[in-house]
Amino acid sequence: QVQLEESGGGLVQAGGSLRLQCGASGRTSLQYAMGWFRQAPGKEREFVAGIKWRNGNTNYADSVKERFTISRDRDKKTMYLQMNSLKPEDTAVYYCAAAINTNIYAPRESTDYDSWGQGTQVTVSS
């Protein structure tokens, strides 16, 4: 199983940018799908963006399209989430996740992932 560790969270003003990183270690596979999820206080964990490790296919939640960009560097075993035009409603703990998955795009359901990082806090002030 792969181990994941997020970094890059912090406090930013509305309209600002942050870049999150998710480093993978241990047994990795080209068959992985990886995703970013977030969870705000009192809310369920929700899908933000996903990427297929082999071919780089990406998918996004409607709420972050045109503002967030997911990418990966296979050599560095690292996934990124570039977040621009941040809004207060983007405030949450952000988690990266991974799973073996052969679909064209990464799954959007958290239950489809079996490896998770510890999370990193993103706070957007108004």
Q: Band of the pLDDT at 31, cuts 50, 70, 90? A: confident
> Distance between CA 45 and CA 36 in Å, rounded?
10
pLDDT at 116 over 90: yes
Contact 86, 17 (CB under 8 A): yes
Q: Which of 15, 8, 53, 47 is nearest to 33 (CA)?
A: 53
Amino acid (1-letter code) at residue 69 = T
Q: Band of the pLDDT at 30, cuts 50, 70, 90? A: confident
Give the residue carrying structure tokens 């002030």: 125
The per-residue pLDDT of the chain, averaged, comes to: 96
> Distance between CA 125 and CA 13 in Å, rounded?
5
Give the residue carrying structure tokens 């993103």: 122
Higher pLDDT, 116 or 31: 116
Strand partners, 106: none
pLDDT at 28 over 90: no
Q: Band of the pLDDT at 62, cuts 50, 70, 90? A: very high
Q: Is the dihedral of CA 80, 7, 60, 26 positive or negative?
A: positive
pLDDT at 67 over 80: yes
pLDDT at 6 over 80: yes
Residue 66 has a pLDDT of 95
pLDDT at 1 over 90: no
Give mean pLDDT, residues 94-110. 95
